[in-house]
Amino acid sequence: MINVPKDFVNNMFSLEGKVAIVTGATGALGSAIAMGYGYSGAKVVISARSESKLAAILDELKAAGIEATAFAADPANEEDVKALVQFAVDTYGELNILGAFHGFNAPKNVLEQSVEEWKKIMDADCTSVYLLAKYAAEQMVKQGKGGKMVITSSARSKMGMAGYTGYCTAKGGVDLMVQSLACDLSTKYGINVNSINPTVFRSELTEWMFDPESAVYQNFMKRLPIGRLGEPADFVGLATFLASSASDFLTGGNFDCTGGYWAC
């Protein structure tokens, strides 16, 4: 007998009734995924450091008919993270999905980069993930219903690059952290932890890379079988899949969304 329930198939990508925290929500990636989660039925708590930018994103979400609220927080600050998780629970009653889509880089040769700048990259890209995962997991364990964590890593997590010693190291740490978190949380508590590993996507910081006449763009095209750089919407499907019931058997994965960059 084939055990594939129709109701499961029809609803496996739905986030209806779920509560999601989305960090980095004022950025191109975080805002797109917050919208995607909302369209999929989740109640979304968006977070970033800037209150004014959060207010603008929140207006867009609400205009789209999405149930959402905002909480300004620094994901690398332990007390901010505790307060963010508590705010989500106080507002919507529980927490089911953690979507960590924030990030920071300051490209510089190791001989030129200060130790302070290195630490800032580590805190923003690696320590922040540990804090969010720790306190989101504590809440999910209290609830006893499992949960999903979707963490942003990078194509650079498994490939070095000149000027990216800090960033590559931090994202490599994120990949291993995701795998270790899965070992800690999945069997005993039913919390799935995965990362998405994107290539360059369009944002205010990367818009200059999209010039077809630039050497940077042309070099990328030599190693991108997909034939173009990314758009924020390209990652909404994978991030939603990993937050939904469709991915219940997946944990500890670093998911390639590089447009084929890792293949070449």
What is the rounded radius of gyration, in angstroms, for the C-alpha atoms of the chain?
A: 18
Q: How far apart are CA 226 and CA 106, in angstroms?
A: 27
Cβ distance 175 to 181 under 8 Å? no
Cβ neighbours for 94, distance < 8 A, ≥ 6 positions apart: 19, 139, 143, 145
Question: What strands, in cross-sheet order, belong to the sheet with 147-152?
Answer: 68-72, 43-48, 19-23, 97-100, 147-152, 191-198, 254-257
Q: Which residues pair with 147 in a beta bridge?
A: 191
Q: Which residue, among 147, 171, 179, has the nearest Cα to 18 in the 3D structure?
A: 147
**Those residues with Cβ within 8 angstroms of residue 143's Cβ, 6 or more apart along the chain or in another chain:** 94, 95
Distance separating alpha carbons of residues 221 and 136, to the nearest angstrom: 38
List the catalytic residue out of 92, 135, 167, 261: 167
167: annotated active-site residue:
yes
Positions marked active-site: 167
